[in-house]
Structure 1
């Protein structure tokens, strides 16, 4: 008995040492990934935040053309992550995709810095700018790579993985804070050459940091081939077998009874069969013709079919993020229009309305540790869920919180209009110095803070949800898909402003959003956005109730 006890203790001690060594490796891998991400976004926001002024001041582009140039570039930057994500999932793997695109971003920043320092023609600057839109498209791949460092079979590591998403988003906001303030000041007050040279240096540092962590990284997911081909094969096979009846017993489907938990897709776990979208099950029904002429375009595995089902289930959740993004983007549009009329002075120091977005960033930086260290443990005790909230519940909370931000903005607008009624109006188009309402711009701070809180729940929840619920071999691609809802939300916001402005200005009226914002009814526009958020939340509840979480065959 004593010998057995000694052997048991020795085995336990060896296991503890292996666990401790693995924990240290994961910790340092995450440190390198988060530091790399922070340097990347510091450089990125240094360029994007002040881009409109560079186009106007250095390239002598008109205001409208400069605004369109920025929005076109931002739109491109929201789509290109799908390119990097596809390459990572299909061919290169996450590590080599990150390394390749980091090098591209270094070249892009070098071109931008040289263009700014030497006052080169606009063609060179735009070449660097759109090269950056490609090279900087790493968020979905880097998110998946970082989350992939954790063993999802271990409950403790799953908790740490959930925490990783919080700190990943925190690193983005730290970069936003430094790049969007300090480096923008350098551009405006020192020189454009230095203001673009520092981001170029930071891009080199980000590459060095990522490569320095190579020995600590562990990738659990090799490239599995083109996910687009696999999805197309399921659709084609199901259509070919439209007259074939899917069996009631899923065990009769192809690959259902494989010996281990791995599927035919390289490095991907098998997915458990679900009853939704039963028509697609026909693609996994084996017929006599399939035995005679085997082809992936005629017979697919259960996991292939479930991959497509996973994507189809994600789409309604993805769509619910569009309205959220449309309301969120008011922070960079109508919030600033509202703030431009308020008193920006603190003593003799002027605070531009656009700078107030720093309170959104600070709110995120406050809420991330608060959520991770306080909210989750309390929620865990109440719900019994290892992550505190389910991912869908977390995103739903953010939808409600953003509604509160729109209500706060509307309430401030009502009070602003009352001040106008008491003190008279001025034309905001005249740009007269000191022509501000006797109302401090800092009354806007609460709405920015509430927007930041909604980000921590919804945006981070989306990052975690789309990674966790995506098939193993499509995680980068699905993470990239979640980002496109933000791009569409910006387009929806622009369309909404245009439609509302025209519809409410009929009959010679000023309408809700005229050029002179003091004649506007922005309060009505904020109420409209709040109602859209409430309606979106109602639809989201139905989606969340319908949704079936992914299950793997272990």
Structure 2
């Protein structure tokens, strides 16, 4: 865990045997393959959803943007429902299958809606998107289930790597910390690869099919079904455990051991166990509250991250989309987010192998929270660049009467680079931080609340757009978003310095 007094270790410099173990186990390959298709579905859907509201359902830009964020809001908060069901009732595996299947039903219904006239298309589209949004609630259970498999498998094999003078507890901490970082980094890479494929294929399919959205949503439905099948097919490799509602099993074993040493009376032991359970539950709750409070600024980050699929696409629609050095190739505006996904995959090795080691050695000791702070700085810079670009676009549009600008779409590239850096720093660090800071019985719940931050962020964007009004300048809107990022940076800086990690509080 990096938010301790342990030095941050670059991803590819960690123990080779552990890295190979995490990436080559049969159970992880099923999870990683499923994550690829999840990414294809998610980005394929989000890459065109704004244009679907705009062109197929005939809403204006502001309404389309608000509807996109409303859909994301539903998807984010459904994670809490999924976490309650997963941790309290049926477990991570069954929750994942159930919610993913519900999302598949929504995508299938969405395909059907595109074939109907407007009287049926709108209500069925909203019903389908609602089912798809609710189905997204299985994602925290999916992430936790995958990491639990890795943790269980690493612990089982770590004894063979026990070094001289190293206790088993130290080995477990080192092995699990290494494995979790590798797991979340690998999941991120597979997801972003799926994102890139989906964001590239779906707009291209829509253009080739004459602007219809049927084949786009059909591809999403087929990809979702394939991912579910791959995840289900790995069931023989999985280690199934019921949700632990009483706290961390290691802590419970230690308490019971001490219990037997300090009391011989059965009733006294029973009373002591009850008292310990209450204290343990209270400590777990404090850990959860502390972790969620320190991650609360993520609300600002998720709000800005999602603008790539709406505000930036709308900006690209009035730019010159022809790139001369690519043989006068015309880039569809809704293909621009593909840049983010491609860059996300490329910058992960750069961040882990170059930037993190340099900062950790020459600037400051890196923790997960400081990595998140770096992501806030990058996302703020991205919106400063987009606002400056919008000034140039508006200035150029005044010279013409067509409503379009001659400013090349290539000038959006720097803001996409900054956003890719921000996302790469943020997602892996916050997921690893949440997994290790949450008690065993509440890992899915913490991940679900973090997912719900995106919903709150969407609500924040809707409030900002409504406050600015439909006639607000796009320049003003961009710089307001940059101000939101700056505010998040200040709050995150304070939180990263004040937070005391769970492992240090136990000492």
TM-score, normalised to structure 1, is 0.71
Looking at secondary structure, tell me which structure has more helix per residue: 2
Partner of 1:550: 502
Bigger relative contact order (CA 8 A; separation at least 6): 2
Q: For structure 1, which segment, 142-151 or 471-480, has the greater mean C-alpha deviation from structure 2 after superposition? A: 142-151
Report whether the alignment pairs 1:200 with 2:216.
Answer: no
Q: For structure 1, which segment, 152-161 or 207-216, has the greater mean C-alpha deviation from structure 2 after superposition? A: 152-161
Report whether the alignment pairs 1:177 with 2:176.
Answer: no
Partner of 2:312: 335
Classify the secondary structure of the residue corresponding to 1:144: helix
- Aligned with residue 469 of structure 1, among 426, 434, 437: 437
Distance 2:74 2:444 in 1: 18
**Does the 8 A contact of 1:117 with 1:193 survive in 2?**
yes
Partner of 1:494: 462
**Does the 8 A contact of 2:203 with 2:332 survive in 1?**
no
The 3 A distance-change label for structure 1 pair 193 and 324 is: closer
- Aligned with residue 262 of structure 1, among 251, 258, 262: 251
Report whether the alignment pairs 1:409 with 2:389.
Answer: no
Classify the secondary structure of the residue corresponding to 2:406: strand
Partner of 2:491: 539
The 3 A distance-change label for structure 1 pair 61 and 545 is: closer
Partner of 2:92: 94
Task: Give the drift of 1:53.
Answer: 4.4
**Does the 8 A contact of 1:329 with 1:493 survive in 2?**
no
- Aligned with residue 111 of structure 1, among 89, 93, 109: 109
The 3 A distance-change label for structure 1 pair 30 and 454 is: same
Partner of 2:144: 144
Q: Which runs of 5+ in 1 are unaligned?
A: 1-18, 231-257, 271-289, 503-512
Task: Give the drift of 1:136.
Answer: 2.9
**Does the 8 A contact of 2:70 with 2:459 survive in 1?**
no
Report whether the alignment pairs 1:80 with 2:78.
Answer: yes
The 3 A distance-change label for structure 1 pair 296 and 353 is: farther
**Does the 8 A contact of 1:173 with 1:365 survive in 2?**
yes
Partner of 2:43: 45
Distance 1:450 1:99 in 2: 35
Cα distance per residue 1:158-181 (max 9 Å; x no partner): 223212212212222222222223
Task: Give the drift of 1:208.
Answer: 1.8
Paired positions, count? 453
**Does the 8 A contact of 1:117 with 1:192 survive in 2?**
no
Cα distance per residue 1:464-492 (max 9 Å; x no partner): 21122111100011011112222222222
The 3 A distance-change label for structure 1 pair 113 and 538 is: closer
Classify the secondary structure of the residue corresponding to 1:216: coil
Q: Which runs of 5+ in 2 are unaligned?
A: 1-16, 156-171, 256-266
**Does the 8 A contact of 2:47 with 2:199 survive in 1?**
yes
**Does the 8 A contact of 1:187 with 1:196 survive in 2?**
no
Report whether the alignment pairs 1:222 with 2:242.
Answer: yes
TM-score, normalised to structure 2, is 0.77
Larger Rg: 1
Cα distance per residue 1:30-55 (max 9 Å; x no partner): 22111101112312333343234445
Partner of 1:301: 278
The 3 A distance-change label for structure 1 pair 192 and 352 is: closer
Partner of 1:312: 289
The residue correspondences of 1:51-450 to structure 2 (distance < 5 A) are: 51-54=49-52, 68-116=66-114, 121-122=120-121, 123-148=123-148, 149-150=150-151, 151=154, 153-190=172-209, 192-218=213-239, 222-225=242-245, 261-263=250-252, 301-347=278-324, 348-376=328-356, 389-416=366-393, 419-420=395-396, 424-426=398-400, 432=402, 435-450=403-418
Task: Give the drift of 1:188.
Answer: 4.3
Task: Give the drift of 1:549.
Answer: 0.9
Task: Give the drift of 1:82.
Answer: 1.4
Task: Give the drift of 1:22.
Answer: 9.8
The 3 A distance-change label for structure 1 pair 67 and 295 is: farther
**Does the 8 A contact of 1:318 with 1:485 survive in 2?**
no
Distance 2:360 2:242 in 1: 33
Distance 1:45 1:130 in 2: 17
Distance 2:116 2:479 in 1: 49
Across the aligned residues of Structure 1 and Structure 2, the Cα RMSD in angstroms comes to 3.8
